[in-house]
Amino acid sequence: MTYRVCFVCTGNICRSPMAESVFRARVEEAGLDGLVEVDSAATGDWHEGEDADPRTRSVLDQHGYALDHTARTFRPSWFARLDLVLALDAGHLKTLRRLAPTAQDAGKVRLLRSYDPAADDLDVPDPYYGGRDGFEECLRMVEAAADGLLAAVREDLEGRQP
């Protein structure tokens, strides 16, 4: 059975596609690409149909991450097929939990940085209105959480084994 993860930010052009790209790479490195499906979306439709921000693409490319992406909006109906929904900041967390059709679905929503034991602030700041440094910082935060997230997903997968 496939384990499905979706990263969600405001417009799905900066933080969530970056997280999707980094986590997909971690999943592939771990040999779990046949078992884990990685996706991303936005809380709003401002950038629906657009590519990721050029700064996101540039930073990911510079660090060796691949990205094939078109922005889209998260739909409440997706909860039924997702195992984990990862919000990039507290505002997204609140929005996603409000969209959740059931309490069980709301329980699927977590903050990405909660998987980084060294994080003191669980929000990944939006780099959109700043320069390249903000995108580099975003990547560092996402990478720091990716290993803990991978361990949690692997544990969930092992728990599903008969």
CATH number, domain of 79, equals 3.40.50.2300
Q: Reply yes or no on whether 126 is catalytic.
A: yes
pLDDT tens digit at each of 162 positions of the chain: 899 999 999 999 999 999 999 999 999 999 999 999 999 999 999 999 999 999 999 999 999 999 999 999 999 999 999 999 999 999 999 999 999 999 999 999 999 999 999 999 999 999 999 999 999 999 999 999 999 999 999 999 998 876
Count how many domains the chain has: 1
Question: Which one is catalytic: 6, 15, 57, 123?
Answer: 15
pLDDT tens profile 77-119: 999 999 999 999 999 999 999 999 999 999 999 999 999 999 9
Q: Reply yes or no on whether 138 is catalytic.
A: no
Cα 160 from Cα 162, distance rounded (Å): 6
Domain containing residue 111? 3-160
Residue 8, judged by CB atoms within 10 A of its CB (0-12, 13-18, 19+), counts as buried
Question: Which one is catalytic: 4, 97, 110, 126?
Answer: 126
Q: Reply yes or no on whether 15 is catalytic.
A: yes
CB-based contact 138:15 (threshold 8 Å): yes
Residue 162 has a pLDDT of 66
Question: Which one is catalytic: 6, 9, 14, 138?
Answer: 9
